[in-house]
Amino acid sequence: MATKRIRVDATTVPSTLQQTSFATATATATATAAADAIASNDDLSTEILRRLPIKNLLKFKSVSKHWLSLISSPHFSRLRNPNPNSVSGLFLELKSGKLNPKFDFIPLDDNKSDITPFKSLPFVDDQPSITILHSCNGLLCCTSSVDGCYYVYNPTTRQYTTLPKTINYVLGMNLAFDPTKSPHYKVVCVQTGELPRDCPRIEIYSSETGLWRFIGDTFTATRRIDLLYKGVFWNGAVHWVGCNQLAILRFDVDQEQLQEIPMPPIPDGFSTRNITYFGESRDHLYLVEIQDICIAQFDVYEMERDCSGWFVKYRVDLDTVARAFPELICRHQPPEFNFYAFRVLFIVRGETDEDLCLVLNMPGKAIRYNLKDETCKKLCDLEGGYYEAHQYIESLSSV
């Protein structure tokens, strides 16, 4: 039986099919035109991109050179995080005395579920010996116990830069970075002089120039720093606890000047200081002094914005914590030898002036104690040992 051949051309295609094909092509063209319009409009693209999670933005950097430039710009970084002081979590570094330090990560922002914790900082040739010296507005100042190099590292973007070698022995290294004022950061290095008896002096590294520079002012015999408490960057200056904990030394990074700030008065009945916490949170500077570990009460001090002095922000009573976590009290016989076993790891300031929490390290765990409503929450289990806490702030800032 012969097969009948049918020729199909535009005249034999049903009109409905032609209309459907035309509508599809029109929709595709319209969508393409809309996408091109968005892609070519930086303001519109920025408004869309800044609402996406950080992990998506890091992937979108590889879409095009234009998006890479857009997402990497300081302007986008400021729009993406209008409050650069918002702490998302804490890196807890176990100081075990071993070559390879261990880290735990404590999330503090329940809305940040995409943060990946890690146990080490292997960002330099897979070296496991990196330790954190200072955290400042999303950047970390780190060093390696293997090669003695110093680094500035952004844990959000996983980018880092190696600082040029310094000449003398380093006593302390601090970041000075305020992304609301400049995309560039500085590193303040306190180091010994050329001779053993020389007073320590300051050298400053600028990310804008990529160079170290000595300044004229140096520490004197009466203004040495106590490296037991690492420097804290706040209000445009690096602050250190002075020798014998008698004063705070303040180094204004822009003015490049040193000044002394008095400590709070020593509590009645005591002749020496016992500062147990000195740190910054959401652009506020805090200090905690605990003279007697057998007593559940202590004060949290805050520095006035003009650096004129300290005031008591909260009077803390840990009896509420002890009821929720009885292991906070180390009990002995007779009972008068009982004491409270804890360390203040970090003070977390919320969005309001009265929203303040303590992160405490007690035997086997870290807990969060809200001073406003006196609620307690276990954050994680911890090994025994001495921990240092470093704040983690999400940042797209370049290093």
Residues 148 and 37 in one domain: no
Residues 70 and 178 in one domain: no
User: Out of 65-79, 184-198, 206-220, 290-304, which region has the weakest mean confidence (pLDDT)?
Assistant: 65-79
Rounded CA separation 314/259 (Å): 27
Residues 165 and 188 in one domain: yes
User: Out of 200-204, 302-306, 369-373, which region has the weakest mean confidence (pLDDT)?
Assistant: 200-204
Q: Which amino acid is at 170?
A: V
Residues 43 and 188 in one domain: no
Q: Quick one: which of 156, 129, 152 has its CA closest to 142? A: 152
Per the domain annotation, does 398 fall within a domain? no
Residue indicated by tokens 């995080």 = 81
229 falls in which pLDDT band (50, 70, 90)?
low
Per-residue pLDDT, 15: 56
Which of 14, 46, 80 marks a domain boundary? 80
Rounded CA separation 268/367 (Å): 30
**pLDDT tens for residues 284-329?**
999 998 888 888 889 999 999 999 899 999 999 999 899 999 999 8
Residue 229 sits in a domain whose CATH number is 2.120.10.30
Q: How many domains does the structure of the chain reveal?
A: 2
Per-residue pLDDT, 87: 86
Residue indicated by tokens 């950047």 = 139
What global pTM score does this model have? Answer: 0.81
Q: Quick one: which of 303, 307, 306 has its CA closest to 286? A: 303
42-49 and 65-72 are packed helices; what angle lies between their axes, rounded to 10 degrees? 70
Per the domain annotation, does 23 fall within a domain? no
Per the domain annotation, does 397 fall within a domain? no
64 falls in which pLDDT band (50, 70, 90)?
confident
Per the domain annotation, does 15 fall within a domain? no
Per-residue pLDDT, 46: 72
Q: Which amino acid is at 166?
A: T
Q: Quick one: which of 226, 219, 215 has its CA closest to 198? A: 219
260 versus 4: the higher-pLDDT residue is: 260
Per-residue pLDDT, 8: 43
Percent of the chain with pLDDT over 90: 30
Rounded CA separation 57/323 (Å): 44
pLDDT, mean of residues 267-293: 87
User: Out of 15-24, 44-53, 350-359, which region has the weakest mean confidence (pLDDT)?
Assistant: 15-24
262 versus 19: the higher-pLDDT residue is: 262
Residue indicated by tokens 């704040």 = 391
First to last CA, the chain: 79
Q: Name the CA radius of gyration of the chain, rounded.
A: 28
In eight-state DSSP terms, residue 4 is P
Residues 351 and 244 in one domain: yes
pLDDT, mean of residues 65-78: 71
Per the domain annotation, does 182 fall within a domain? yes
48 falls in which pLDDT band (50, 70, 90)?
confident
Whether pLDDT at 2 is above 80: no
User: Are residues 368 and 358 in contact, defined by beta-carbon separation less than 8 angstroms?
Assistant: yes
Percent of the chain with pLDDT over 70: 75
Beta bridge partners of 201: 191, 218
63 falls in which pLDDT band (50, 70, 90)?
confident
Residues 151 and 47 in one domain: no
Element of type H or E holding 348: strand 343-349
Which of 19, 53, 80 marks a domain boundary? 80
pLDDT, mean of residues 226-235: 77
Residues 43 and 67 in one domain: yes
Residues 187 and 71 in one domain: no
Average pLDDT of the chain, as a whole number: 80
Residues 259 and 184 in one domain: yes
Residues 121 and 237 in one domain: yes
Per the domain annotation, does 13 fall within a domain? no
Residues 64 and 110 in one domain: no
Task: Enter the tokens of residue 106.
Answer: 């404590």
Residues 162 and 49 in one domain: no
Whether pLDDT at 29 is above 70: no
> Which domain, by its residues, includes 59?
33-80
Per the domain annotation, does 11 fall within a domain? no
Per the domain annotation, does 223 fall within a domain? yes
